[in-house]
Amino acid sequence: MGHQTSVDITTPDKAENSKAANTKTLFIKTYGCQMNVYDSERMADVLAPVGYAPVDSPDGADLVVLNTCHIREKAAEKVYSELGRIRKLKEKKAASGGTMKVAVAGCVAQAEGEEIMRRAPVVDLVLGPQSYHKLPEMIAKVSRQLGERLETDFDTEEKFDLMPATRKVDGPTAFLTIQEGCDKFCTFCVVPYTRGAEFSRPVDQIVAEARELVAQGVREITLLGQNVNAYHGAAPKLEADQFWGLGQLISHLSKIGGLDRMRYTTSHPRDMDDELINVHKHEKTLMPYLHLPLQAGSDRILKAMNRGHTYAEFKDLVAKIRAAEPELALSSDFIVGFPGESELDFKKTLEAVEEIGFASSFSFKYSARPGTPGAALPGQVPEDVKSERLARLQKLLTAQQLAFNQSLIGKTLSVLVEDTSRAGSELFGRSPYLQGTHFKGAANLIGQIVRVKITDAGQNSLRGVLEEKSL
C-alpha cells in the first residue's frame, strides 16, 4: 500500500464522449494507495448519474478532483503544487466565460481540511474519504454559493450504504474495498487519523459488489483494506453476532463462477490468522502473493513503532505461511531512520531482509508526520543518514527482486491479460506473483488467462512467449 503512484483513471476515448450535450466533464487525479484508486472510481460512479463524464486532462474540465495522500511529507506537498497548476487552468476557463470547480478529497483533505481552504482559495470543496457519497450534494451547494465547503465526517458505514450499486469497470481486474480505517496506531502513521477507526463491510454487500464486477467481465479481484486481514464483517443474513474473518470471506467469494483470481492487501502480521493461512494452502483462486510489511528488523525499533510483534515472531509467521504455500511471493514495506534508529538497529533490518528474502518491496525514509507520536520522539535521524541507509537497503531489495524474477526464467506462468503494451503489438498481463508480463499476442486475448513461458526477467517485469491460448 501507499506506493507513491499517481493514477489517472480516465481514458482518452471517454473525453470524446464527454463532448455530448448536457455532459459535464470530470478530471480525477489519484495519489497514494490502492484504496484511493478504488475511491476515485467510486467518485466517478457517484457523479455519473448527475451528468459528469471522465476526461483525461484537467484543462477545461468542469470539475477537478484531487484524491490525495498524506502518508509522507512529499505526498502531501504534491497537492499544493498541483493546486498551483489547477489555479491557472481555472483562471483560463473563467476568462473564456466558463466555470471550473475544484475539489480536494482523500487523506490530505481529512488531515488538513481547514489549512487547504486557507492556503488555496482555488479550492471550492474539501471532503474526507468517508464523504464521497455526498459529492453531488456538495457540488450543488457550491453552485448555489451556500458556502458549505468542508465535509470530513467519519461515518464509514454511511459511505458504503449510500454509494451507487453499479460500478463501471475497465478491464479484467478490479479493486474492492472490504475494510477501512485502522486501530493499530503505529507511531509513524497518519492512517488512523485520516481514515478513522477500523470498519468492515458486511459480507452480503461485498458479495453483491463482487458479483457485479464479475458480471462485467472482471476475473481478478484485489480485496482492499488498510488492515485487510483484520476484516471481521457481518455474516450473510446476519445471525446475531456472527462475524466472518478474511479467510472465510475469501473461501466464500471463490465460489463465484468466473472469479478466477483473488488477492488482498495490505495485511498486518498480527492479524495473519490460521484460517487465512489455511486458505492460502487450499484455495487456488487465491494467488501465491502476500504483501506483509515488516518495517524494521530491530525489536527495539519495532516496539517504538508500536507494531506489536518481534522480528522472531515475523520470521516464524513467514515460515508458517510458506509451509502452507511454498510458491508464495512475499512482498514487504520498510522504513529507515525511524527516530532512535542506530546503525546497529538498521543492520538488523538488512539481516532480516537477507534471512527472509523478498520477491518485491517498498522502502521509505521515515517522514515525521505532524500529530503522530513518532514526530515528537527524541533521536530524529538526520536526512543524510536516512538517505544513505535507504540506498543500502534498496540495493539489497532490488537484488532480491531481480533474483526472484530471474528464477522464473524457463517456467510457464498463468497470466491474466489486461491490455496491450505501450509498444503496441504486445500484450500486458500479470503473473500469479503480480509481476507485469509482456509477450506477443493478439488483442482478443485481453481478459483471458493464458500460459506464458518466461524468457527474460528485469527488476520490474517479465517477458515471455505465449504457449497456448488458455488454461
Q: Is 390 in the site for ligand SAH (CB under 6 A)?
A: no
Binder among 72, 133, 201, 268 for ligand SF4 (CB under 6 A): 268
Residues numbered 75 to 134 that lie near ligand SAH (CB under 6 A) are none
106 binds, among ligand F3S, ligand SF4, ligand SAH, none (CB under 5 to 8 A by kind): ligand F3S
Q: What is the DSSP string of 415-442?
A: EEEEEE-TTSSEEEEE-TT--EEEEE--
C-beta of 266: minimal distance to ligand F3S in Å?
Answer: 9
Beta bridge partners of 413: 452
Picking from 296, 290, 225, the residue whose alpha carbon sits closest to that of residue 263 is 290
Task: Give Cα 73 to chain centroid, integer Å.
Answer: 18
Write out the H or E segment, with its range, that includes residue 209.
helix 203-215
CA-CA distance, 173 to 261, in Å (whole number)? 9
Tell me the per-residue interface mask from 75 to 114 with ligand F3S, x by CB under 6 A, - otherwise. Answer: -------------------------------xx-------
| 349 scored as a contact of ligand SF4 (CB under 6 A) | no
Counting contacts by CB under 6 A, is residue 185 touching ligand SF4?
Answer: yes
Cβ-based neighbours of 442, under 8 Å, separated by 6 or more: 427
**Residues in 45-74 at the binding interface with ligand SAH, rule: CB under 6 A:** 71-72
Mapping DSSP to helix (H, G, I), strand (E, B) and coil, where does residue 269 land? helix
Q: Which of 106, 128, 172, 192 binds ligand SF4 (CB under 6 A)?
A: 192
Kindly tell me which of 126 and 335 has the beta carbon lying closer to ligand SAH: 335
Q: Which of 58, 293, 297, 432 binds ligand SAH (CB under 6 A)?
A: 293
184 binds ligand SF4 (CB under 6 A): yes
User: SS3 for 28?
Assistant: strand
User: Can you tell me the distance from the alpha carbon of 383 to that of 387, in angstroms, rounded to the nearest whole number?
Assistant: 6
Q: Residue 185's binding partner, choosing from ligand SAH, ligand F3S, ligand SF4, none, with beta-carbon cut-off 5 to 8 A by kind?
A: ligand SF4
Shortest Å distance, C-beta 303 to ligand SAH: 16
**269 is an interface residue for ligand SF4 by CB under 6 A:** no
Given the complex with ligand SF4, which of 67 and 226 has the nearer CB atom? 226
How far apart CA 256 and CA 372 sit, in angstroms, is 42
Q: 181 vs 464, which CB is nearer to ligand SF4?
A: 181
Of 409, 304, 309, 313, give the one whose Cα is nearest residue 356. Answer: 313
Q: If residue 13 lies in a helix (H) or strand (E), which one and from where to where? A: helix 12-17
Q: How many helices (H) and strands (E) does the chain have?
A: 14, 22
> By C-beta, is 113 or 225 nearer to ligand SF4?
225
Segment near ligand F3S (CB under 6 A); pick from 12-20, 29-37, 86-94, 199-207: 29-37
Q: Of the candidates 9, 26, 35, 228, which one interacts with ligand F3S according to CB under 6 A?
A: 35
C-alpha cell at 299: 525489536
